[in-house]
Structure 1
Amino acid sequence: MKVVVMGAGVIGVTTAYYLAKGGAEVTVLDRQIGPGLETSYANAGELSYGMTSPWAAPGVPKKALKWLFMKRRPLFIWPLISPTMWVWGAQMLRNCDETRYRVNKSRMVRISNYSRDLLPDLIAETGISYDGRSQGTLQLFRTEKQLKGSKADQEVLAEFDSPFEVLDRDGCIAAEPALARVRDKFVGGLRLTADRTGDCRLFTQGLADRCAEVGVEFQYGQSIRAITVENGRVAGIDTEIAGRFEGDAYVCALGTYGPRLLNPIGIRLPIYPVKGYSVTLPVLDDERAPQSTIMDETHKVAITRLGDRIRVAGTAEIAGYSNRLGPHATDTVRYVVNDLFPGGGDLGRAEGWTGLRPMTPDGTPVLGKSPFDNLFLNTGHGTLGWTMACGSGRAVADMVLGQTPEISMEDLGPERYA
């Protein structure tokens, strides 16, 4: 079977890996010069199995209004003249009730737990290195109100069998010793013990190399012009340089750019780009640096240790498809890492980055068959593409190969938006 995968980010490459492992002849198309160079390039580095939750949750609209007036706010909304943006926002608001939240979370956890179980086997099979660690995520609370409010999160974590620890100030310092220097800035934390960390770009590049070794063909620098449909099936993928690529089946793993190709063939998915920022800085002093991931609950900023580097990521900016990195865009993430880990990293050598997260209004990615029987979807993972990559890649690959996925695919496909 010949399969064409659109997209060489972490989602496309993991899908290609499982397809090739299942015996398919795979071609991967991407407009960039290599794998993992867009949203996978410099994300937070978290494998957030315990923090797998939709952004649309009870209480979020009220919090969002408060965030808009913070000095170092985690959310920016630029009111564009865009019906797509406003419709997507309205759909997200509709998902901010308790019933929908629990349904959406259960769908997401199904994928992320499967991904968590698959990753060790993939690493053992491929031997790739990606600055991985298995020391959990510490959600850090600066106020007693945040700590008390985490009780609802604890109940949900227990319901979905996600292991956790509730820590006081000393417990947080035991998990992250460098926090002893700023112990007056927080009151406690929630440690998610099953979470991992790692560099998504290194993982994607390493896995692409292994894929190439077993015969996967990567066609870089290929901007896709259109998905061509003939007689009710996809007939090929037309690119601007190399012309048409044909296969027996096709997988769309283009993240935020998927709708631009899917809309013309009648597949309308509510995926909208939510911009995020990060900085990556070298470690100056290991004793002052983080050892795993710390999530600052106040500013919604993640600080992650990646080998001899620190990755600091955060901010949600709703501004269309803008990839502009303004002069003050990373001020918040820089402030947070210096506030919690002063002297741990060299901010003078920090490299800034911005990327577009492909967000659905219910938080759940869109996986599985499309209305065309030879076109499959693996997109819309939002901030959790790295977390869900193995699970969604394996499940979609199984469907393409005519096999039954090991997890239920109910309500994960585009039909839920019909």
Structure 2
Amino acid sequence: MKVAVLGSGIIGVSTAWWLRQAGHDVVVVERGAGPACETSRANGGQIAVSHAEPWANPKAPLQMLRWLIRSDAPLLFRLRLDPAQWAWGLRFLRECLPGRVPANARAMLRMAEYGRSTLHALRSELDIAYHQSETGILTLYRDQAGFEASQDMASLLRDLGVDRRVVTTDEIIELEPALASARHLIAGGEYAPDDESGDVYLFTTELARHAEQAGVEFRFNTHLGRLLPEDGRIAGAELIRPDGLYETLTADAYVAALGAWTPAFVERLGVHCPVYPAKGYSATFDITDPDAAPRVSMADAAHKIVFTRLGNQLRMAGTAELSGYSRALNTIRCDNMVRQARELFPAGLDFANVRFWSGLRPSTPSNVPLVGKTRIPNLYLNTGHGTLGWTMGAGSGRALADIMSGRQPEPEFPFIG
């Protein structure tokens, strides 16, 4: 059948690849000038199966209340006159109930594991290089209280099979010598040796190139106007071409992989899509001293930020703002990121030429993505992956392609539809 995939981030491109591998005729529609130009452009670079844990947990509401008055809070919730934000927030509170957390964590973990194994297969088959590193992920805690607060979720993930081992400060320095000057800031940590890192933009653009060679049509600089319903199905996608003229694209099936913008196109059709943007920041530094910059990807638990080495650059990313669809940079948050980078790695980075970026992560209240069939028979969703789009992306695309091809997807996951 002919399938229109709407969106060309890691989710959309991987979906298009696997649909083409299943024999379908695939066209990808993207408003940007190329693949992975928005949320997949400059994220933290971690394939973080060990961090497949929901934000929504019993401790989250009190923590968020404490952060409300802090402009540099790791998770910033700014209330707006926005019904979608209020509805999302109420659903988030429901997902914080203790009985909801284990099922959400299990679902996230299974898709994350499948994403990583599928990524391995693609990397091997297509020989894609993307500054990949298999040195694991190191999580740092600034004090004992922070470590203890994390252990309920860490224990749940360990029970589900995640190798997330506790390490001392000395072991942390042995794993990552570049942290030696910051020893006094570290109370302990965890190490997940099976986790990985790499540049999602490089991977996605290369996968898109392979997909195009395999017969996938990419239509860049093309805006989606609306989906056109007829007799209970989608009859076409109204497009605005690069020349400004309108066109209707017809297909047998449509995949909405539009990230945080997905609800704007599907909810007007009566399709429930509880996705809201969580704006994340990144800062990219050139490395001036390779020995003083980290080689192991890491997470600073207190500040909710990650560090990943990508070739001769260090990518720092994190924080989340639930405050609408603006990608405007907050100077306070940018300055705070540079300050934290200086604390941990004072000697190895070019602090005079930092490149800042922000992206809107598509987040569901439970952090479990929406993958599968909607109430409209020929409309499918692949969105809502939050901070784990890179981790889950390859597997999420493959699983949806299986569903659309009439096959049972491999991961144990609550697919919609």
Q: TM-score range by the shorter chain?
A: over 0.9
> Which shifted more, 265-274 or 141-150?
141-150
- Aligned counterpart, 1:26: 26
- Work out whether residues 115 and 391 of structure 2, in 8 Å CA contact, stay in contact via their aligned partners in 1: yes
- Aligned counterpart, 2:404: 400
Letter in 1 for 2:184: D
- Aligned counterpart, 1:281: 285
Percent identical residues:
39
Q: Deviations over 1:252-271 (max 9, x none)?
A: 10011111100121112111
Letter in 2 for 1:273: P
- Structure 2 distance, partners of 1:52, 1:315, is 16
Letter in 1 for 2:121: D
- Aligned counterpart, 1:105: 105
Confirm whether residue 16 of structure 1 aligns to residue 16 of structure 2.
Answer: yes
- Work out whether residues 20 and 211 of structure 1, in 8 Å CA contact, stay in contact via their aligned partners in 2: yes
Structure 1: which 5+ runs fail to align?
A: none
Confirm whether residue 412 of structure 1 aligns to residue 415 of structure 2.
Answer: yes
Question: Shift in Å at residue 293 of structure 1?
Answer: 1.7
> Which shifted more, 327-336 or 379-388?
327-336
- Aligned counterpart, 1:366: 370
Question: Shift in Å at residue 95 of structure 1?
Answer: 0.9
> Which shifted more, 152-161 or 85-94?
152-161
- Structure 2 distance, partners of 1:408, 1:183, is 41
- Work out whether residues 32 and 222 of structure 2, in 8 Å CA contact, stay in contact via their aligned partners in 1: yes
Question: Shift in Å at residue 285 of structure 1?
Answer: 0.9
Confirm whether residue 94 of structure 1 aligns to residue 97 of structure 2.
Answer: no
Q: Deviations over 1:198-232 (max 9, x none)?
A: 11111111110111111110000111001111111
Confirm whether residue 260 of structure 1 aligns to residue 264 of structure 2.
Answer: yes
Confirm whether residue 58 of structure 1 aligns to residue 61 of structure 2.
Answer: no
- Work out whether residues 283 and 310 of structure 1, in 8 Å CA contact, stay in contact via their aligned partners in 2: yes
- Work out whether residues 71 and 332 of structure 2, in 8 Å CA contact, stay in contact via their aligned partners in 1: no
Which of 243, 264, 274 does residue 270 from structure 1 map onto?
274
> Which shifted more, 141-150 or 6-15?
141-150
Confirm whether residue 125 of structure 1 aligns to residue 128 of structure 2.
Answer: no
- Work out whether residues 61 and 93 of structure 1, in 8 Å CA contact, stay in contact via their aligned partners in 2: yes
Which of 339, 342, 345 does residue 341 from structure 1 map onto?
345
- Structure 2 distance, partners of 1:301, 1:179, is 16
- Work out whether residues 3 and 24 of structure 1, in 8 Å CA contact, stay in contact via their aligned partners in 2: yes
- Work out whether residues 301 and 336 of structure 1, in 8 Å CA contact, stay in contact via their aligned partners in 2: no
Question: Shift in Å at residue 70 of structure 1?
Answer: 4.8
- Work out whether residues 107 and 412 of structure 1, in 8 Å CA contact, stay in contact via their aligned partners in 2: no
Q: Deviations over 1:139-161 (max 9, x none)?
A: 10110112233332332122111
> Which shifted more, 56-65 or 144-153?
144-153
> Would you say how many aligned residue pairs link Structure 1 and Structure 2?
413
- Aligned counterpart, 2:152: 152
- Structure 1 distance, partners of 2:146, 2:328, is 33
Structure 2: which 5+ runs fail to align?
A: none
Letter in 1 for 2:358: T
- Work out whether residues 312 and 334 of structure 1, in 8 Å CA contact, stay in contact via their aligned partners in 2: no
- Work out whether residues 282 and 318 of structure 2, in 8 Å CA contact, stay in contact via their aligned partners in 1: yes
Q: Tell me, what secondary structure is at the counterpart of 2:207? A: helix
What pairs with 1:227-266 in structure 2 (closer than 5 Å)? 227-241=227-241, 243-266=247-270
Which of 386, 393, 396 does residue 389 from structure 1 map onto?
393
- Work out whether residues 73 and 332 of structure 1, in 8 Å CA contact, stay in contact via their aligned partners in 2: no
- Structure 1 distance, partners of 2:415, 2:401, is 15
Q: Deviations over 1:92-133 (max 9, x none)?
A: 011112210111111111111111211111101111111110
TM-score, normalising length from structure 1?
A: 0.96
Question: Shift in Å at residue 71 of structure 1?
Answer: 7.0
Q: Which aligned segments of 4 or more residues in structure 1 are displaced greater than 3 angstroms?
A: 68-72, 326-329
Q: Tell me, what secondary structure is at the counterpart of 1:226? A: strand
Q: Tell me, what secondary structure is at the counterpart of 1:310? A: strand
